[in-house]
Amino acid sequence: METPRKKKGTIPDFLERKRSGRRITMVTSYDYAFASLVDSVDIDMILVGDSGAMTTLGYKNTVPVTMVEMLIMARAVSIGAQNTFLVGDMPFLSYEVSGERAVENAGRFLKEAGMDAVKLEGGRRTAPAVQAIVRAGIPVMGHIGLTPQSASQLGGFRVQGKTMDSAQAVVEDALALQEAGVFAIVVEAVPAPVGKMITEAVGVPTIGIGAGPDCDGQVLVLHDMLGLFERFVPKFVKRYANLGAACRESLAQFAVEVREGAFPASEHCYPMDAEQARELREGLVRAGLLR
């Protein structure tokens, strides 16, 4: 029996999910292979996150990644995942300079890379850019709380909204983004009660990452949850697999088998008629090409 084809969700579907309480699932992907895997299971959204700067391109943080690098990763993901809602993460300084630049860059994610929406970091300060992009007809997901692109301004990768004032500021960020027209908001690294209050304050779905269980959905960085990124693991990550260890084991086994002559075995070789092979050898020897 054929497995039923997954149906790509729409923005009205996701808004309805907030009302019905059926939680939204999102993971990141940065290439064709993993995007195809995610597309084959019941995950609602893929974020081509700028975390790919670290997990895939090896940069120290997300600041250096360029529009071109993001578009290359996003295009590969859109080829692999045709039945999953796709969100492209706008890199640092691709939306801050001017509304025009923000709209142009957001548009490239849809036109050149097959994304369904874009994501921008920041609350009240980013609202004008969000508004400009939404006015151009491009769906926008917000991102508040810990915003890694401005981590140095926030004093590092720290939990946000821990004091009364800073928690209120994060709620105000959420409301400003809603007013600007976002269809969903990622809420990163805030105390669980703050995640709950933000979720209650806004009419659009919240997607939590380190924001507690009461958000309307959850997102994880794929390489964190699968154990493929080992530089550090944030507190909010649950490891569902240890693929890093599995990869290392397989690679070591390959090296041993090659050195021992156990790989390739006969099933990995193209056969040739023995008589033909003998004649070929004799001919090559006669021609002085083989001793």
Nearer to ligand KIV, 65 or 127 (CB): 65
Query: Residue 209, interface with ligand KIV (CB under 6 A)?
Result: yes
Query: Residue 89, interface with ligand KIV (CB under 6 A)?
Result: yes
Residue in 112, 172, 188, 267 annotated catalytic: 188
Contacting ligand KIV (CB under 6 A), which of 138, 186, 204, 211?
Answer: 186
> What angle do the packed helices 99-111 and 127-135 form, to 10 degrees?
50
Query: Residue 187, interface with ligand KIV (CB under 6 A)?
Result: no
Does residue 188 carry a catalytic annotation?
yes
CA proximity to 137, closest of 89, 86, 181, 184: 181
- Nearest-CB residue for ligand KIV: 49
Question: Is 256 buried (19+), middle (13-18) or exposed (0-12) by CB count in 10 A?
Answer: exposed
Query: Residue 116, interface with ligand KIV (CB under 6 A)?
Result: no
Query: How many residues bind ligand KIV, per CB under 6 A?
Result: 12
Contacting ligand KIV (CB under 6 A), which of 219, 225, 226, 228?
Answer: 219
Q: Which of residues 23-62 bind ligand KIV (CB under 6 A)?
A: 28, 47, 49-51
Cα 254 → chain centroid = 30
Question: Is 252 buried (19+), middle (13-18) or exposed (0-12) by CB count in 10 A?
Answer: exposed
Residues in contact with 157: Cβ distance below 8 Å, sequence separation at least 6, in sequence order: 146, 148, 151, 189, 234
Closest approach, Cβ 173 to ligand KIV, in A, equals: 15
Kindly state the tokens that stand for 278: 């003998």
Q: How far apart are CA 116 and CA 79, in angstroms?
A: 13
Name the residues that contact ligand KIV, by CB under 6 A.
28, 47, 49-51, 89, 143, 186, 188, 209, 219, 221
User: Mind telling me the catalytic residues?
Assistant: 188
